[in-house]
Amino acid sequence: MSWNLDSDRPIFLQIVEHIELDIVSGALPPGMKVPSVRELASEASVNPNTMQRALSELERLGLMRTERTSGRYITEDRQMIDDLKNDLAASGVESFVSQMKKLGLTQDEIIKLIKEKF
Amino acid sequence: MSSLLSVSGLTKTYGNVTALNNISFELPGGRIIGLLGPNGSGKTTLIKIICGLLQPTSGTLTVEGNPIGVESKKVISYLPDTTYLGKSMTVEEIIKYFRDFYEDFDESRAYDMLGKLGINAKDRLKTMSKGTKEKVQLILVMSRRAHLYILDEPIAGVDPAARDYILNTIITNYDENATILISTHLISDVENILDDVIFLQQGNIVRYTSVEEIRGVEGKSVDSLFREVFRC
């Protein structure tokens, strides 16, 4: 599996998350043409119907748009990409903090650790 | 979407053993469906009836509205769980044989896949390993432009790298209106490419559902659901 998908969570959601990350990181830059459903399905080793569903979801979220004859493109709305980046960062920090709290660390200890590791 | 295969009230008994017990279901076009069940649950019996190799005890089947027969065989491409090709034939000879036999056989597709898997078309089947023979058979079956592909244990004998290639071949090469029915025990290998699964137990369909529903609603992989449903 080239995309490292878990079998116990809906595959289309994991594909959506994977592509969101690629958009935020710039691996899929704004305005880029998205490969065909078949190509992506083959790359991710998933069923084309599942890939189709994931791309429809990304379109619904506004991260991709379809041009009737020429295919799908990544959004050029940088504000939307920044918002997505902030959302992903916020949820990452949230789960990190709750994990650290479970380990019994205080806020100061967590900040100290982050500074050491950064 | 109209149904590709329609099965209604299908029963098959061997003497006093019931292999299939009054089952009914429909397969739509454009799906990849796993036919899953423990040994002896009736998977191969069901497949053989759909392919016209066994007669049902009772019940009706239609493929695109036609009964099982010449018309249904034209649109079904079947990979059996045993070898049936002449052992002394070369791959090239078998390809010619398939081209004569099936009007939907795409020779260039077959050679393309053979090349990618590094199989020499001049080799005779009897000189090949079990896994290579299985690859050849699968290539032949997937090189037809059929409407319904029925694959009985397609990847059991091949190594994991070739397994990935074969699964990739399956998802990239079939026509989007065609349906693929795969019977296998290697659930974790195939489950990411499946749309739906049919669970068969002692001749009954105990589950026919989409795999994303299993993951979304039950939070489980198909493999772990299978282990749970069929716990020994």
How confident is the model over A38-54, as pLDDT tens digits? Answer: 889 988 989 889 999 99
CATH fold of A11-76 reads Arc Repressor Mutant, subunit A (1.10.10)
Domain ranges of chain A: 11-76, 79-117
Q: pTM for the full model? A: 0.85
* Chain A residues within 8 A of B220 when measuring between CB atoms: 8
Contacts of A53 (CB under 8 A, 6+ apart): A12, B212
Task: State percent of chain B over pLDDT 70.
Answer: 99
Contact criterion met (CB < 8 Å) for B176 and A42: no
Angle, vertex CA A64, rays to CA A61 and CA A69, nearest 5: 135
> How far, CA to CA in Å, does A78 sit from each of A17, A92, B98?
18, 21, 55
Q: pLDDT of B128-178, one tens digit each?
A: 988 888 889 999 999 999 999 999 988 887 888 888 888 888 887 778 889
Which of B30, B176, B215 is nearest residue A8 as measured by Cβ atoms? Answer: B215
Chosen for mutation from A39, A50, A51, A57 (greatest number of chain B CBs closer than 10 Å) is: A50
> How far, CA to CA in Å, does B30 sit from each of A62, A118, B97, B143, B159?
27, 49, 28, 17, 28
Q: Are B122 and B154 in contact (CB under 8 A)?
A: no
Chosen for mutation from B166, B192, B196, B228 (greatest number of chain A CBs closer than 10 Å) is: B192
Q: Are B32 and B175 in contact (CB under 8 A)?
A: no
Residue B1 has pLDDT above 70, yes or no: no
User: CA gyration radius for chain A?
Assistant: 17
Distance CA A10, CA B118 (A): 35
Q: What is the ipTM of this complex?
A: 0.73
Distance CA B184, CA B180 (A): 13
Distance CA B35, CA B181 (A): 7
